[in-house]
């Protein structure tokens, strides 16, 4: 089973920041938090990942709480093309390395 909990759906206005929450209260110290998104019928696209510190790249920012039990993916200026299902995944360092356990994700709808 997925080790994360995400809201099933969210709406965001175009041009506004989209903040997608993820709960991973059972995360252990050596587990990473990954975010992927999947636009309808395409392969999942890697967005960002982090261990403890906040991370930022050209696509998004990842904010991880100090206790690491939750995180937020931030798309700073959402566009219509950001409409997708967003998956938050916890990956175990010493576990099954090939096995990304996907939950149901959050369906983000960006509206004009």
Partner 1 sequence: KAGVTQTPRYLIKTRGQQVTLSCSPISGHRSVSWYQQTPGQGLQFLFEYFSETQRNKGNFPGRFSGRQFSNSRSEMNVSTLELGDSALYLCASSSIQGRAGTVRFFGPGTRLTVL
**75 contacts 84 by C-beta, under 8 angstroms:** no
Does 46 bind partner 1 (CB under 8 A)? Our answer is yes
Nearest approach, Cβ of 41 to partner 1 (angstroms)?
7
DSSP structure string for 42-85? SPPEEEEEESSS-EE-SS-EEEE-TTSSEEEEEETT--GGG-EE
Q: Any contact of residue 15 with partner 1 (CB under 8 A)?
A: no
In this chain, which stretch among 8-16, 17-25, 67-75, 87-95 interacts with partner 1, using CB under 8 A? Answer: 87-95
Q: How far is CA 80 from CA 24, 53, 83, 87, 112, in A?
A: 28, 29, 6, 18, 7
Site string for partner 1, 16-35 (x = CB under 8 A): --------------xxx-x-
- φ/ψ of 56, rounded to 5, equals -140, 140
Residue 97 makes contact with partner 1 by CB under 8 A: yes
Residue 74 beta carbon to partner 1: minimum distance, rounded to whole angstroms: 19
Rounded-to-integer distance, Cα 7 and Cα 106, Å = 6
Using CB under 8 A as the binding rule, whether residue 54 contacts partner 1 is answered as no
* Residues that bind partner 1 in the complex, under the rule CB under 8 A: 30-32, 34, 36, 41-46, 49, 51, 87, 91-104
């Amino acid at each position: 089973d997925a080790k994360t909990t995400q809201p099933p759906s969210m709406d965001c206005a175009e041009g506004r920041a989209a903040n997608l929450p993820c709960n991973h209260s059972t995360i252990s110290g050596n587990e990473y938090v990954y975010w992927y998104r999947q636009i309808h019928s395409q392969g999942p696209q890697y967005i960002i990942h982090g261990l403890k510190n906040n991370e930022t790249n050209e696509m998004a920012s990842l904010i991880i709480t100090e206790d690491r039990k939750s995180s937020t993916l931030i798309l700073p200026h959402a566009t219509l093309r950001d409409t997708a299902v967003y998956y938050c995944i916890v990956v175990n360092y010493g576990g099954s390395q090939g096995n990304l356990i996907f939950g149901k994700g959050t369906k983000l709808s960006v509206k004009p």
